[in-house]
Structure 1
Amino acid sequence: MTATDETIETIASELAAADHAVALTGAGVSTASGIPDFRSEGGVWDTFDPAEFRYGRFQADPAAFWERRVEMHETVYGGDIEPNVAHEALAELEAAGVLDVVVTQNVDGLHGAAGSETVVELHGNADRVVCEECGRRADAGPVRDRVTSGETPPRCRECQGLLKPDVVLFGEQLPRASLQMARDHARRADVFLAAGSSLSVEPAASLPRTATQATLVVVNLEETPVSAAADYELLADVTDVLPAMADAVRVRRRWG
C-alpha cells in the first residue's frame, strides 16, 4: 500500500480516536539521523564482528571488550547525531495526547532527545553504563573517555565493580521489566504503529502479534513478517510518513 494522503488521513483518524496507541520503532527511524543500520548490507556488523560484543566476551576480557566498544561507538555515533523529523513527529503525537508510549529497539536515546517522555527502551541506552556489582547507572560519555585515556576496564567509582554499557549485549536477556511493560502496552493497544523495524528480531518482533485488539499499522521500506496481518502497510520512508501523520492529526484536532 502506498502512503497516499487518503490512507494517512484514515490512520490519523484511528490514532485520534484510540484509547491507547503504541508505537514500536526500529533502526529505520534513526538512519536519517546518520546512525547506520546494524544488520543490513553495509551495516555495522559488516565492519565489526558481533562476537566481540557478546556478554561472554565482556566477562572473559572486559578490557579488550571496552577498547573495541569505544571504537564501535565512535564509528556509529561519533558524528553530529540529532533527532530527525520521525522522532519529532512521534514526540508531537505524544504531546497531543494521541500516542501513549514509544517502545523502541534502538539504543541511541533519540526519542527522549526529541521530547518523547514515555519511552520503553527494550535494548537499553548506549548513553548509560551500569555497574555489574551495585547496579548504579551513570553517563557513558566520561566512562568512554576514561577508556580512551587507558583506564581499561573501567570500574564503578562507588564499589569498584565492572562497568558495562547499559545495553543488551549478545547473549544477554532483555530486561524483564521493560519487556513486560512493552507487552502490557501492546495488549491494551487500539492502534499499534510499527515504524522502521524489520520485525524480524525477537522478542520485539512478537509485539505486533500481541496487540490482538489493535489496528496494526506498519511503516517500513520493505515488507515484514507481519505484512499479511497488517491493516495498513505503508512501504515508505518513516521520515515522510510519520510527520504527515502528525500533521493530519493536528489538522483533525484543529477542525474536529
Structure 2
Amino acid sequence: MRKVSSFGKTIMNTALLIFSLSAVFPIVWMLYSSFKTQQEFTLNIFALPKNWNLENYIEAFKIGQLHNYFFNSVYVSLISVFLIIFLAFIIGYMIARHDFPGRRIIYILFLFGMLIPIHGLLVPIFIEFKNVGLLNKPYTLILPYVAFGLPIAIFLFESFIKQIPKEIEEAAIMDGCNTFQVIFRVIFPIAGPVIATATILSFLTAWNEFPFALVLIQDPALRTLPVGLTNFNGQYTVNYPQMMAAMSVTVLPVLLVYLAFSKKIIQGMTAGAVKG
C-alpha cells in the first residue's frame, strides 16, 4: 500500500509540475523574446537571445507611444478601483448592518449584475454614450468599469461584514466613536482581506479590459494599453520581439500586483465561508 501511495504521489507531483511549467513558460518565453532581434526570432523562436538589448523597449516607447497608453491605463484603473472600493464598502456595510425597506430587493438587484453578460451591453452603451456625448472623454471608461465592478465587490463586502460581531461596533460607540468613525476606523481595517481581494480583482479587470476601450474610445491620445498593443501589428508583417516588449510592459504590473497579494485574494474569497 505504501508503494502504491508513493507511486500515486509521484504521478500527481509530476503532473502538477508539468502543468506549472506549461503555465509559466509562455510568460518566460515572452520576456526573453522581447530582448531578441527580429532576425533572431525568425530563425529560432525558442532560443535565448545572443545579445540582450533594450532596443525593442526603446522603440516601443518611442515609436509605439507606449508611455501614453500606460498612463491612460493607470489613470482609468486607479480611479475605477478607488470608486468601486469606496462605493461597494459603503453599500455593503449598509446592506449588512441596517434593516430598511427594500434592502433585500436592492441586494438582489446588485447580485443580478454578476449574471449580466457584460459585453452583450456593449452596443446599447455605445449608443447611449453617443447620444449624451460621453464618448472620447478621459472618464468615459471609468463609468462602465465602476458599474460592472460594483456587484462582485458589494457581494464580497456584504458577506464579510456580516461575519464581524456587532459587539465590536457597540464597544466603539461606547468609547465615543460616531458612525463615520465606526465605519472607517473600526470596520474598514478589519475588512482588510476582502478590501485587498476586491481591489485586485477590480484592478485586473480594468487593466485588461479591451472591447469597451476599443469601442468607446476613438481618440488615440486616450487609448489604454490593451488597445494600444494593436498598433504594433503591421499591415503585412509583425515585429514580434517589439510587440513582446510592449506586452511585457503591460503584463509586468499585473504579475507584481498578483504575486504580492495572492494570499489576500484567497483570504478574502474564503472569508465568511465557515461559521463557527
TM-score when normalising by structure 2:
0.24
Higher helix share: 2
More strand, by proportion: 1
Kindly indicate whether structure 1 or structure 2 has the higher relative contact order, using CA contacts under 8 Å at least 6 residues apart: 2
- Rg larger in structure: 2
TM-score calculated relative to the size of structure 1:
0.25
